Chains A and B, each alone.
Chain A
Amino acid sequence: MKLPSVALAAIETAINRLIQDQLDDTPDLIDPVLDQKAICIDLEGLNLQFYMVFYGDVVTIMDDYPRQPDASIRGTPLALTGAGKFGNASDVKLDGDLKVAQALDLLLHKLE
């Protein structure tokens, strides 16, 4: 299932705001391996799928991506963000370019 584009825009704005807020204190927040990479996010439980595309320190979120993504990450929202005590590495499944997937996984966990 796809999220409405306006909801994706809200998520995109929130993530970029978090990134921008943390970049001053953490210049290496985004692993350079993510640059110009697209990652498919599959939210288990919600049956939702979207794509995160990186260019520099900006991430765009799309409901569809015209090419094969570089990597994909599947997991529940809690597992992906490592929220509270519910996050568990074994609940997150990575596919494709593992360096890219791991870099995104790390970024999501770093974002406060």
Chain B
Amino acid sequence: MTENQDKEGFTHFGYQNVPHREKVHRVREVFDSVADNYDIMNDLMSIGLHRLWKNFTVALCQLRPGQRVLDLAGGTGDLAKRMWPELGDQGELVLSDINAAMLEHGRNRLLDDGVGGNVHVVQANAEMLPFPDRYFDCMTIGFGLRNVTDKAAALRSMYHCLKPGGRLLILEFSKPVAPGLNKIYDLYSFSVLPAIGKLVAKDADSYRYLAESIRMHPDQSTLKGMMEEAGFENCQVYNLAGGIVAVHRGFRF
């Protein structure tokens, strides 16, 4: 049993309790629905801050030319696009997502941005990564882990695919730590976000799910503990925007 599954095989989908298998389908429906507007919604919802958060995450990867990197839940390729120039001709970048619509969107976007050659696109479930053990120097998962049904299984799978010395970077919404931020953040999440979603993406429900899934996601210290349980060492948490977003980094040695 893991933190997000009860004994009967139920797990959360936002604030709802759904069977384990159903979550995968419902998350897929959400991302099928938002894929076309994903980029513009990211900019609107975060007032552009997501770009800084992604830059910060990539800086913490400390990439070197020739390294092999996996961008999990890579969606529209935002992190992949930033990492690719660091890897040089000898490096290898794998963009992966469980959702075909997001992956197609990401692949097209990378091609449009001239990112190619040593880039592979793989549709995969983070809980069962189809890569050899000790294969990657670095892995990233940006705003994706909270949608994974069995996070503990995913963390274990990621750990196995990392080389010794390899690192995992998790960029994800988290719990505000700045005083007084909670109330404003709740108001924004449950009133403003769905309204923007309805107006721009014609889909308030998916953005209500976004707000709910953020609240159900493990907080900073819980996620750090889960990483350590999966085997990661030297885990660090970097709070951004008062803890609304956090980067977790852990190493396999």
Question: Is A9 part of the contact surface with B, judged by Cβ < 8 Å?
Answer: yes
> Which residues of A7-58 have CB atoms within 8 Å of chain B's CB atoms?
9, 12-13, 16, 20, 36, 53, 55-58
A55-B165, A58-B62 known; A6 vs B238 contact (CB < 8 Å): yes
Q: Are B234 and A9 in contact (CB under 8 A)?
A: no
Q: Interface 1/0s, chain B 88-110, versus A by CB < 8 A? A: 00000000000000000000000
List 20 A-B pairs, Cβ < 8 Å: A5-B236, A5-B239, A6-B56, A6-B238, A6-B239, A6-B240, A9-B56, A12-B60, A12-B62, A13-B60, A20-B64, A36-B253, A53-B234, A55-B165, A55-B253, A58-B62, A60-B234, A62-B234, A62-B236, A65-B234
Q: Interface 1/0s, chain B 50-77, versus A by CB < 8 A? A: 0000001001101010000000000000
Question: Is A91 part of the contact surface with B, judged by Cβ < 8 Å?
Answer: no
What total of A-B pairs shows CB separation below 8 Å? 38
CA distance A13 to B239 in the complex (A): 17
Enumerate chain B interface residues (CB-CB to A < 8 A).
Answer: 56, 59-60, 62, 64, 165, 233-234, 236-240, 251, 253
Q: Are A56 and B165 in contact (CB under 8 A)?
A: yes
Question: Is A70 part of the contact surface with B, judged by Cβ < 8 Å?
Answer: no
Residue total for A at the interface (Cβ-Cβ under 8 A): 18
**Hey, which chain A residues are within 8 Å of B237, CB to CB?**
5
Q: Are B253 and A9 in contact (CB under 8 A)?
A: no
A57 to chain B, nearest CB (A): 7
CA distance A78 to B99 in the complex (A): 52
Q: Are B60 and A9 in contact (CB under 8 A)?
A: yes
Q: Are A60 and B62 in contact (CB under 8 A)?
A: yes
Question: Is A84 part of the contact surface with B, judged by Cβ < 8 Å?
Answer: no
Q: Are A63 and B236 in contact (CB under 8 A)?
A: yes
CA distance A9 to B238 in the complex (A): 8
Going nearest first, the 3 A-B pairs with the smallest beta carbon separation are: A55-B165, A5-B238, A13-B59
Task: Please give 16 more A-B residue pairs, beta carbons under 8 A apart, in addition to A5-B239, A16-B62, A66-B233.
Answer: A5-B237, A6-B56, A6-B238, A6-B239, A6-B240, A9-B59, A13-B62, A58-B62, A58-B64, A58-B165, A60-B62, A60-B251, A62-B234, A62-B236, A63-B236, A65-B234
